[in-house]
Amino acid sequence: MVAPLLECRNVRKDYGALAAVDGVDLSVHAGETIGIGGPNGAGKTTFFDLISGLTPASGGDILFHGRSISRIPAHKFLPMGMARTFQVSSGFTSLTVMQNMLVSILFGSGLERPDLRIQTKHRRRAAEQLDRFNLSHLADTEVAEIPALARKKLMVATAVAHEPKLLLLDEPVSGLMPPEVDSFIEMVLALRKSGICIVFIEHVMRFLMTVAERALIMHQGKLIYDGAPAGIASDETVKSVYLGSAAEELREATQ
């Protein structure tokens, strides 16, 4: 059998007495698209921080391509084939969209000493990436000036500039209007078609239900559901952790 692309074995993160991630076991295979839901404070972002090497685990092991990555520093992850985005839009706001893309292309190469001279091949590659994500018309605009949807798309575009095998997206559509969510769905479905494995966290259930082939629900640091997105709404354990308006949203989105 083919080894999982990503494997988490009894992974945990303790902050004092709080188990933010409490013994998670998970296997992710190449080509899968997985959506992670769960209430605020469930440990979803902390779980991504562990997978992407931003914070050390308190216990357990994480393997990527069958090799333990628990002690590898975060800056080595992109050259290894793992990229991520963040819950709050990141990016260099005083640089233009094109300059942001060039930074990603030059510094994500994995070279210990990237050549800082921007060459025609870098510009060509950057232009191609912007075109792929419909951002060409904003190439010369400072990131501080571009709309929220474009900022979120740019974060994904820079993350995938080096064609990672695994892409982690933390709440990619939070704060977007419904038509903008549709545009993001289209973009992620196109990425999915390219064969990249995508694991994302999302509260917007419509996005999760449309994009994910497999859904996970996290609660108090544990995985309480792992299965088909369509089964979330009828799962008794999941229902018991969603209260009030969140329960209503869950019901509507999964009908």
Q: 3-state DSSP call for residue 197?
A: strand
Q: H-helix or E-strand containing 217?
A: strand 214-219
N residues, the chain: 255
Site for ligand ATP in 62-91 (CB under 6 A): 87
Does residue number 52 form part of the binding site for Mg ion (CB under 5 A)? no
What are the C-alpha distances in Å from 219 to residues 190, 239, 242?
30, 11, 10
Site for ligand ATP in 84-123 (CB under 6 A): 87
Choose the one of Mg ion, ligand ATP, none that binds residue 69, judging by a C-beta under 5 to 8 angstroms depending on kind.
none
Choose the one of ligand ATP, Mg ion, none that binds residue 19, judging by a C-beta under 5 to 8 angstroms depending on kind.
none
Quote the Cα angle for 119-123-126, to 5°: 140
Alpha helices in the chain (DSSP H): 44-51, 77-80, 97-107, 120-132, 148-159, 178-193, 205-211, 236-241, 244-254
Q: Least Å distance between CB 44 and Mg ion?
A: 5
Q: Hey, what are 112's tokens? A: 């210990």
Does residue number 217 form part of the binding site for ligand ATP (CB under 6 A)? no
Site for Mg ion in 167-226 (CB under 5 A): none
Does residue number 40 form part of the binding site for ligand ATP (CB under 6 A)? yes
> Are 92 and 141 a contacting pair, CB within 8 Å?
no
- State the residue number with the nearest CB to Mg ion: 45
Closer residue to Mg ion (CB): 58 or 87: 87
Q: Hey, what are 210's tokens? A: 């449309």
For 116, other C-beta atoms within 10 Å of its C-beta total 7
Choose the one of Mg ion, ligand ATP, none that binds residue 40, judging by a C-beta under 5 to 8 angstroms depending on kind.
ligand ATP
Candidates 19, 22, 38, 45: give the one binding Mg ion (CB under 5 A). 45
Does residue number 46 form part of the binding site for ligand ATP (CB under 6 A)? yes
Q: Least Å distance between CB 181 and ligand ATP?
A: 17
Instruction: Give which of 7, 4, 167, 11 is closest to 82, Cα–Cα.
Output: 167
Choose the one of Mg ion, ligand ATP, none that binds residue 92, judging by a C-beta under 5 to 8 angstroms depending on kind.
none
Does residue number 46 form part of the binding site for Mg ion (CB under 5 A)? no
Closer residue to ligand ATP (CB): 98 or 205: 205
Quote the Cα angle for 88-199-75, to 5°: 65
Closer residue to ligand ATP (CB): 135 or 169: 169
Q: How many residues in the shown chain lie near Mg ion by CB under 5 A?
A: 3
Residues that bind Mg ion (CB under 5 A): 44-45, 87
